[in-house]
Amino acid sequence: MKQRRVADSIKRGIRQHIESFTPVESHYCRKQTDRKYLPESLSLRKMYRLYQDSCKEQGTTPAMESTYRKIFNREFNYYFFTPKKDQCDFCTQYRNTSSKSEDLERAYQVHCAEKEMARQCKENAKMRAKSEPEIIAACFDLQQVLNCPHGEISSFYYHRKLSVYNLTVYNMGNGFGSCYLWSEVIACRGANEVASCLFRFITEHASQGGKIFELFSDNCGGQNRNRFVATLYWFLVGSIDAIESVTHSFLEVGHTQNENDSIHSAIERAARKAKIYTPEQWSAVARTARQNKPYSVQDMQLVDFINFKEVAKEIRNFDVTDAGCKVNWSKLRSIRFSKAEPNIMLVKHSHGDDYARVDLMRRKRNVTSAADVQLPQLRTTGLHLSAAKYKDLSVLCAKNLIPPAYHPFFRPCLMMTLHRPNVRFLEIRAAFTVTLVLYMYCTYVAIYHCCALAFTYLCSTHLL
């Protein structure tokens, strides 16, 4: 049977509709790929229905669902966001490889052993924390980015929204969860932000009798496994009397599921039917997401974020052990700091190894004591929105899809972004200056060579 040709204008309409969805921002440490993720709440069926609605609004005839699907699958590298870590990439690769090389076999054995040791280490910490109140065992994780506004309104799918971040800490000893929330105009979601939330969690628990802290997280280098979070621990054991030690262990890649996932699910469930316009409303949802042992929720402000990258300048050595071996940060499985030796960081590259010592003040003339360090605030003014987000949020306000009652919240964020130096203009001006300088240089070289040639010619013809 002859296939019916779909008109180019219809195909173009479908492409434009698919492109109008804004991909979700993922906090996970995915490798840089071209893949884009659409919100979990969307599906191809739902997108097609929204496409039909938009055709109706424009008075055009929609294409068949099969055509929409074909274009989506063939031309776009879009995936629907699924909650992380369902399956370990490496374990899947191992299972799907029929002829396994010796290297793959060995790497898989190490992976399984590390996974088991990390699990055991976490279980031991949990058991000890349950029986000894001065031991605080906790795991932490950033939730998938939350959005303002949030709700089942089709326009929200087509516009960029204000991002809200939520770092959750689950206390394995008593089963309580803490949430630290802030929006993207207050701070980003890097090492300083994670360390600042942990600072609050640890100091709060230290003031309630916590002495030994055992923390667990995934391996994200930008957020959890880095020098700046280590600097926080150095500061804590060296400056707060109550804190005896802080150990931070990293769960095996691909097997980092932990109790925070259930906090995140509870919040997502509670928000499913809700309309949310401001970060404070997200906090309210988090507060009431669990009836039994409600989560403690703290709204992080500008003053709560500390610049640990600045404090880290006091530390001379993060990279060489006392035995002269290199510290491989991307492979570290545990770090420990203790009051007995406040300027020593203990590190492990395998959960089965003994700790190796790293002298943080190695060959430093004036050794800094953490007790003398003043913690600098990360920033005193808020952050600007991107130009695209500014535009989209302005549209949502102008159309009253964000109700006027919430405009007083959005207006300052939008105004601040509006009044920043025009980045595009600065870029164009810089490009123009470089081009002008190059042009003048080329002209100068050309004139010089012409004169030299003319002079040589005249000399050779004995005219001079």
Applying CB under 5 A, the residues found at the interface with Zn ion are 88, 90-91, 254
User: Quick one: CA torsion of 141, 144, 150, 153, rounded to 10 degrees?
Assistant: -160
Q: Is residue 260 a contact partner of residue 172, using CB atoms and an 8 Å limit?
A: no
Residue least distant from Zn ion (Cβ): 88
CB of 430 to Zn ion, least distance (A): 47
When the beta carbons of 331 and 420 are compared against Zn ion, the nearer one is 331
When the beta carbons of 29 and 361 are compared against Zn ion, the nearer one is 29
- Encoded tokens for 315: 């530390």
Distance CA 324, CA 47 (A): 58
CB of 86 to Zn ion, least distance (A): 12
CB of 89 to Zn ion, least distance (A): 8
Distance CA 12, CA 281 (A): 39
CB of 395 to Zn ion, least distance (A): 44
Residue in 78, 6, 85 with CA at minimum distance from that of residue 43: 78
CB of 61 to Zn ion, least distance (A): 49
CB of 315 to Zn ion, least distance (A): 34
Distance CA 90, CA 105 (A): 11
Residue in 415, 408, 398 with CA at minimum distance from that of residue 278: 408
What is the residue type of 463? L
When the beta carbons of 108 and 176 are compared against Zn ion, the nearer one is 108
Task: Tell me the CA distances in angstroms from 141 to 29, 198, 248, 296, 378, one per residue in order.
Answer: 12, 11, 13, 15, 21
When the beta carbons of 352 and 412 are compared against Zn ion, the nearer one is 352
When the beta carbons of 93 and 154 are compared against Zn ion, the nearer one is 93
When the beta carbons of 91 and 270 are compared against Zn ion, the nearer one is 91
CB of 265 to Zn ion, least distance (A): 22
Q: Are strands 162-171 and 177-183 parallel, antiparallel or unpaired?
A: antiparallel
When the beta carbons of 257 and 288 are compared against Zn ion, the nearer one is 257
Task: Tell me the CA distances in angstroms from 72 to 24, 35, 267, 459, one per residue in order.
Answer: 17, 13, 31, 72
